[in-house]
């Protein structure tokens, strides 16, 4: 699913402003996902928006870095932390104001990290990690999903039609090219 956030503290208009910023002015999460696909990664991309400005961009870098934690959301979080250092801003004040745009719902690792970093709003998840009452896991956040879902699904299909160039030779499966 392609997911977009709507801040819980205001009507939808601020999110729509951020959405216009993401999809008209800067590369969208889908563009980041396409970059990941071109690098042989699972095509996931995301943006973290602060006051209408994209301050964190990420795409999957797992195969490229040989680090299983380098999901798009984690890369974007690192970019926001770098932005905070450059702009002498306290990340604890910035993160609660962020809105996340991501091409697919975050995995449990990324959803937990987003929640612990107090992201204002994010996309939906089957596990409801955004809203479940969990001990010592940060405040719940509001979610919405489905924006540009078809585009995200097509990118994932393209990835899974190809062979994984990073898989060990003994694990490589030949794909049926008739699909």
Digit-coded pLDDT (tens) for 28-76: 788 888 888 899 899 999 899 999 899 999 999 999 999 999 999 999 9
pTM for this model (two decimals):
0.70
**Per-residue confidence (pLDDT) for residue 31, from 0 to 100:** 84
User: Average per-residue pLDDT in the chain?
Assistant: 74
Q: How far apart are CA 43 and CA 36, in angstroms?
A: 5
Active-site residue among 38, 73, 82, 150?
A: 73
pLDDT above 90 covers a percentage of the chain that reads: 29
**Per-residue confidence (pLDDT) for residue 99, from 0 to 100:** 86
> What average pLDDT does this structure show over 3-24?
39
Q: Is 73 a catalytic residue?
A: yes
**Per-residue confidence (pLDDT) for residue 154, from 0 to 100:** 86
**Per-residue confidence (pLDDT) for residue 63, from 0 to 100:** 92
> In which residue are the tokens 């216009």 written?
20
pLDDT tens-digit profile of 121-151? 554 444 444 455 555 555 655 555 666 778 8
End-to-end CA distance of the chain: 22
> What average pLDDT does this structure show over 2-8?
38
Residue 15 banded pLDDT, cuts 50, 70, 90: very low
**Per-residue confidence (pLDDT) for residue 13, from 0 to 100:** 36
> What's the farthest any 2 CA atoms get from each other in the chain?
54
């Amino acid at each position: 699913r392609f997911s977009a956030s709507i801040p819980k503290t205001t009507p939808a208009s601020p999110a729509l402003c951020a959405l216009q910023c993401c999809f008209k002015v800067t590369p969208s999460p889908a563009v980041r996902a396409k970059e990941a696909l071109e690098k042989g990664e699972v095509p996931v991309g995301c943006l973290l928006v602060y006051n209408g400005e994209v301050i964190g961009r990420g795409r999957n870098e797992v195969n490229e870095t040989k680090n299983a934690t380098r999901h798009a959301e984690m890369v974007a979080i690192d970019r926001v932390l770098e932005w905070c250092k450059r702009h002498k801003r306290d990340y604890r004040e910035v993160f609660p104001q962020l809105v996340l745009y991501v091409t697919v719902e975050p995995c449990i690792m990324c959803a937990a990290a987003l929640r612990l970093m107090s992201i204002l709003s994010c996309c939906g998840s089957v596990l409801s990690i955004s809203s479940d009452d969990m001990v010592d896991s940060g405040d719940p956040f509001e979610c919405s999903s489905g924006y540009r879902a078809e585009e995200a699904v097509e990118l994932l299909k393209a990835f899974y039609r190809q062979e994984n160039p990073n898989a060990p030779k003994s694990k490589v499966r030949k794909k049926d090219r008739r699909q």
